[in-house]
Structure 1
């Protein structure tokens, strides 16, 4: 019988696999951060640099930012905010009951069909959407002539006409946004409210809506951002008849109204970035709170 002696002062030799250092998990996001810095950081810096640079002297100045908040530019910015707020509010009011009907439907095929169609319609916009509405509800549209809408005061190329067009893709977006939150409402809550004598209206007022409030507000903010950034649909439909900040930026860049206003257009773009930043600052906390409630 042999005995193996081990010296206590000699440390065991580690295997090659144990000597390898593990790569920190944070290094995995370096490519994403680099991509974000190039794709978003460089354009953002170019917008900021052009917005604070005088066109004639090349010196740093706040003249462009001041001009972007005056006159027709301010009117266009407020017009975009008004259009986005009205469209988002109506889409939220119409999309919530539609999403509830889809979620509570016993037909799985109908539910999947509506959600799939919502995903398609939420991304359908631009010139094709404008052409579809012009051909249907324009001055010489099929429904306009068939129903005599012109004699009744209907005008597609107006503020409310643009709201109607925006609802075409905002309502499906609201359905996609609020449907997961509606699915998170537990059946036990409804049963408990019913056992305590609560009606359906009382259940929604005191239980469902308070729980859904963060998701509803988050969806409303998301709809506002989508409408605020839309350009091609409004440009193809109304041109400059409805003052919008995106159309003002295009006119300033192309010199349709005044020549040499490119830096003012960059200042308007910076205003839009700030508004979008405020929107995201409101949306992210609401989204986290909604996830915590419905988890």
Structure 2
């Protein structure tokens, strides 16, 4: 009788634990279903189309790497390298400008200024596309307000060039860097600076030998994040420069609209797969850096 009562008690104690675990697993099911539908199905369709080749004579389809090889030749390769170059330059400049700006915000004594800058950065980091392109065209375009008042055209200024596009990208990349690096700057402890000063270190030596080595994972992670954001941008460049600057996103848009050679209808999907691979490499670099930065600044 005692054994039976003990078993009943054990079951009574264990059952609520099992009932508490079940809702946790059930809560993940909608998220997994959404990811499978929103990302899984398009990814499978992209993979299938990227490796599918149609015979123009018979209309038969077969699997081949011809589309991928075509996406890495000629104008397509030029566009891919152009996107990588634009993203790398924009990300580097965004990190160089965003770091001191974020440091000025973190060390400011005015809490209202910090909150205002971070709020504005959150808005500007997500402001892009056609509205951003129109704003710059109206301001710094060939007939823009500042272009006419400052005579920038006579000085060789051209918004619809590589460097003009870099400046436009910096409009949302610098605020993104501020948002990314501010938590890491908050993690720098005042005791480290005081210890460096007590040992005779100058401000420059503190940054070179203490702060920057600690911030290195966060800085590299922010740089990679900025690169990915610039690499995936499409609407701003499409509305501002069209096809005058070779970018892979613009090539994909042309291919999807039918502006390709006969037999290369699926090259757009191959170009998309190239972008996914680049984005995967970016995330493969970013996630370890993020974890290492979290350990240092915890």
- Per the normalisation by structure 2, the TM-score is 0.93
Q: 1:10 to 1:98 in 2, by over 3 A?
A: closer
Match of 2:47 in 1: 48
Match of 1:233 in 2: 236
Candidates 249, 254, 259, aligned match of 1:251: 254
Counterpart-to-counterpart distance in 2, 1:282 and 1:13: 52
Candidates 179, 184, 187, aligned match of 2:187: 184
Counterpart-to-counterpart distance in 1, 2:4 and 2:50: 68
Q: CA deviation at 1:28?
A: 3.7
Counterpart-to-counterpart distance in 2, 1:269 and 1:159: 22
Match of 1:3 in 2: none
2:101 is the counterpart of 1:107? no
Q: CA deviation at 1:259?
A: 5.4
Counterpart-to-counterpart distance in 2, 1:85 and 1:254: 28
Tell me if the contact between 1:55 and 1:263 (Cα under 8 Å) persists in the aligned partners. Answer: no
- Per the normalisation by structure 1, the TM-score is 0.94
2:78 is the counterpart of 1:75? yes
Which secondary structure does the structure 1 equivalent of 2:274 belong to? helix
Q: CA deviation at 1:14?
A: 1.9
2:273 is the counterpart of 1:279? no
2:125 is the counterpart of 1:129? no
Q: Which runs of 5+ in 2 are unaligned?
A: none
The structure in which a higher percent of residues are helix is: 2
Counterpart-to-counterpart distance in 1, 2:89 and 2:292: 25
2:207 is the counterpart of 1:204? yes
1:14-41 Cα offsets, whole Å, 9 max, x none, are 2684363333544542322222111111
What is the aligned-residue RMSD (CA, Å)?
Answer: 1.5
Q: CA deviation at 1:219?
A: 0.2
Which secondary structure does the structure 2 equivalent of 1:12 belong to? helix
- Matched length: 289
Candidates 133, 139, 142, aligned match of 2:142: 139
Tell me if the contact between 1:255 and 1:261 (Cα under 8 Å) persists in the aligned partners. Answer: no
Counterpart-to-counterpart distance in 2, 1:45 and 1:244: 24
Counterpart-to-counterpart distance in 2, 1:168 and 1:19: 57
